[in-house]
Structure 1
């Protein structure tokens, strides 16, 4: 059964896509820790990051770097934090989180609930950074 991320990749469900190429896609987290929280996902559905082929893993990080630079350029933050947890959805994904404090990347705190209009606005802002 396809993961929710595969359904986003296949455009079966909507997402605020930030960037995409033939192998990777980046989109806003719909339950973000902070505004501008982006997920970067390989289009190949693999559950565990260390099961990715080396070239796919390297490409994921290079693609994530491009997205992180756009976030850093457009969202007020000290830096962009990176986390790989991998427990919520059985599909490799990298969290890119704009940080002002260490608590901004605390996954145990309550998530934001943003409207689709707020997500679109944030997406437009980040996309302007490419």
Structure 2
């Protein structure tokens, strides 16, 4: 179902205005690549049907989401020689779900920090690195555990 007020519902008819080009589609999804970007092959995966947010996925789009993500991400990774493809979903004012796929190579414009403020890195004993904001202290552990338990109950009922 199209939303007449949604630019992404216009599909290919909006690509020139959004300065992008369609590179793939199936029955439920389309992938476009930005023609103006500081990142090679920065792409957008979006459902053809108007779906406002990821939590609203259902039916055929929900069933095919993982397959479409994996296929498009791997194609972007191998085509660009990227080390990894970052996946972002922002509520950036566009009322149509669109997943940002950003192929990342060492030295490009991307970073791996998604936290606001000065980032403090700590190497953990297991070899992983913890990233935390110097401006935003961690939330109380008991609050986080309480929310995690509510989420567990909701998902397992």
Q: TM-score, normalised by structure 1?
A: 0.68
Query: Shift in Å at residue 2 of structure 1?
Result: 3.4
**Per chain length, whose mean CA-contact separation is higher, i.e. which structure has more relative contact order (CA < 8 Å, sep 6+)?**
1
Q: Higher helix fraction: Structure 1 or Structure 2?
A: 1
- Of residues 34, 37, 43, the one that matches 2:42 is 37
CA contact 1:80–1:96 (8 Å) conserved in 2: yes
- Of residues 16, 19, 23, the one that matches 1:18 is 23
Matched residue, 2:72: 67
Q: How many residues align?
A: 105
Note the alpha carbon deviations across 1:74-109, whole angstroms, 9 max, x for none: 1032111111113231100111101125961579xx
Query: Shift in Å at residue 67 of structure 1?
Result: 0.9
Moved runs in structure 1, 4+ residues, more than 6 A?
Answer: none
Matched residue, 1:3: 6
Q: TM-score, normalised by structure 2?
A: 0.58
Q: SS at 1:86's partner residue?
A: coil
Q: Using a 3 Å threshold, how does the CA distance of structure 1 residues 33 and 90 change in structure 2: closer, same or farther?
A: farther
Matched residue, 1:104: 110
Q: Which runs of 5+ in 2 are unaligned?
A: 115-157
- Is 1:76 the equivalent of 2:91? no
Q: SS at 2:13's partner residue?
A: coil
Q: Using a 3 Å threshold, how does the CA distance of structure 1 residues 30 and 58 change in structure 2: closer, same or farther?
A: farther
Matched residue, 2:130: none
Q: Higher strand fraction: Structure 1 or Structure 2?
A: 2
**In 1, Cα distance between the equivalents of 2:84 and 2:45?**
17
Q: Which runs of 5+ in 1 are unaligned?
A: 108-130
CA contact 2:39–2:102 (8 Å) conserved in 1: yes
